[in-house]
Structure 1
């Protein structure tokens, strides 16, 4: 090795990997892409190995680059935690909290939690990264994640966040029901217009119902397909009469009370486990620990 690499250069290398490119890393770090590119070239020269494979559309790590990233990322996380501990040693929680969450928790579960958290810890900057796929939160540079029934790695711990159980409801506007009739059985849905959500990978989310003690899947006619990243906006289309929507019941309750939506096939609705907050069993800095405490207190989980 010609020269000992600068820790700042190593941080920039991680930022390029986590952001997916030079331009995104530059925006994240508040600099220009040319500086990022120069830094990576200098780092590769110092180490004597290529770290990144570049194309006009993407950047990914070489084998040597991935091995380096896997080894240095925990070191920087440990250093950030130590700095946060020192900054918070006088009792005021400071720093940054980054949460990787699915769109399903954005409309109603997160707002009251974050409002209370910010009331107690106003000097913490909170960032919400909406991602509906299963994510390695450490590689993504996030402190914690929220998922529904996700399989967790052995070095992760989790706690319930929000409702313990959630119902999958079907709903439509009164105008839609008047024009198209009220479904009386799950099979009727195959002849109705559906407002569907599509995962980033291309799969349409299924409508699951419970009939005769068994789970069944129903495929309606797709009148409108919405990216799951825009999940919180789907009810507006149902209110407008475009079709029947499948959504969590707690999203629909206000509309049910107001009469802007009506329940469809309620006896057949499925109940699922609610979301969970998950995080590494180590490197839990003060901002994350304070958020865990807030979630436990508001969810009645204090021990």
Structure 2
């Protein structure tokens, strides 16, 4: 009843992803290859590990019993193999990070090129998704989140700008046609470009001035998925379709070249920057350990704060 480690790893990945296609995408493999691996494991073990339908792949009772013991065991195997990295001249392996789209655009470009040049034997796999997920279920080693979304049992390292703002802006043509709002509540009478999470939730626009906090829920002609389709909303704002609220750093090039003008700037909300987070475990994989040190070096080089 010998089962190969790769086949057992395939069982874990498919269970975590909830399907062959999703699992294949998470490890850059193919659904057929993973299906063959799971089938081999079931054949060797003599039991069915998953209930398969056209819509889902769910562990059987036998599968759940196996995964309960197998998952931590395979984690220990991976940690044991990774321990060999300390004897190498340079760390090697794959580092998989789950990050919001904003971080992939505004934070990582300042870190990734230097990191990969410093550690040429490390392969970096970035999953850019603005929805909050369990990094274990996503098959990731670490992630980037803002403080309000951090889980308490995670280790957090500051990464990127320590203070950020949400900017509000509109094209000159829009402001000439519809006027310039002078107070956040006046946005309710304007055409605003909105973002929506995959859950369907539309976040409120939040403002702060002299200790007064105001939240409004504007409406408008365009709603886009937060993260993946934000550039479409930016393009629409530049064309004069409506008012947009977004990370100031994201909009800075458009504000500098005059494509957009700041709106309600005294009310722009400031908030703390993001964190690199990872589980508190005995042995941190060498690629992640190298990335953490690279982030800390960049923090020291910038004096701990970058805006």
- TM-score normalized by the length of structure 1: 0.89
CA drift of 1:21 comes to 1.9
Cα distance between partner residues in 2 of 1:32 and 1:186: 49
8 A Cα contact 2:159 2:273, kept in partner = yes
Q: More deviation in 272-281 or 234-243?
A: 234-243
After TM superposition, which residue ranges in structure 1, 4 or more long, deviate above 6 angstroms? none
Tell me the equivalent position of 1:293. Answer: 293
Cα distance between partner residues in 1 of 2:129 and 2:61: 26
Deviations along 1:159-215, one digit per CA (max 9) or x if unpaired, are: 111111211111111111111111011111001111111101111122111256232
1:48-59 pair list within 5 angstroms: 49-59=47-57
Cα distance between partner residues in 2 of 1:82 and 1:240: 55
CA drift of 1:294 comes to 1.0
Tell me the equivalent position of 2:88. Answer: 90
Cα distance between partner residues in 1 of 2:212 and 2:68: 44
- Structure 1 residues 22, 71: closer, same or farther in 2, change over 3 A? same
Cα distance between partner residues in 2 of 1:69 and 1:151: 26
Tell me the equivalent position of 2:8. Answer: 10
Tell me the equivalent position of 2:199. Answer: 201
RMSD: 2.4
- Structure 1 residues 285, 147: closer, same or farther in 2, change over 3 A? same
Deviations along 1:232-268, one digit per CA (max 9) or x if unpaired, are: 5132221121111111112122222221111111111
Cα distance between partner residues in 2 of 1:250 and 1:143: 27
- Structure 1 residues 236, 8: closer, same or farther in 2, change over 3 A? same
8 A Cα contact 1:171 1:245, kept in partner = yes
CA drift of 1:94 comes to 1.3
Tell me the equivalent position of 2:277. Answer: 278
Tell me the equivalent position of 1:166. Answer: 164
- TM-score normalized by the length of structure 2: 0.88
Tell me the equivalent position of 2:250. Answer: 251
- Structure 1 residues 38, 94: closer, same or farther in 2, change over 3 A? closer
- Structure 1 residues 194, 29: closer, same or farther in 2, change over 3 A? closer
8 A Cα contact 1:52 1:61, kept in partner = yes
- Structure 1 residues 159, 207: closer, same or farther in 2, change over 3 A? same
**1:53 partner SS:** strand
8 A Cα contact 1:93 1:124, kept in partner = yes
Cα distance between partner residues in 2 of 1:214 and 1:167: 16
Q: More deviation in 139-148 or 65-74?
A: 65-74
Cα distance between partner residues in 2 of 1:118 and 1:69: 34
CA drift of 1:47 comes to 4.2
Aligned length: 299
- Structure 1 residues 54, 256: closer, same or farther in 2, change over 3 A? same
CA drift of 1:139 comes to 2.6
8 A Cα contact 1:176 1:242, kept in partner = yes
8 A Cα contact 2:85 2:286, kept in partner = no
**1:139 partner SS:** coil
Cα distance between partner residues in 2 of 1:10 and 1:269: 51
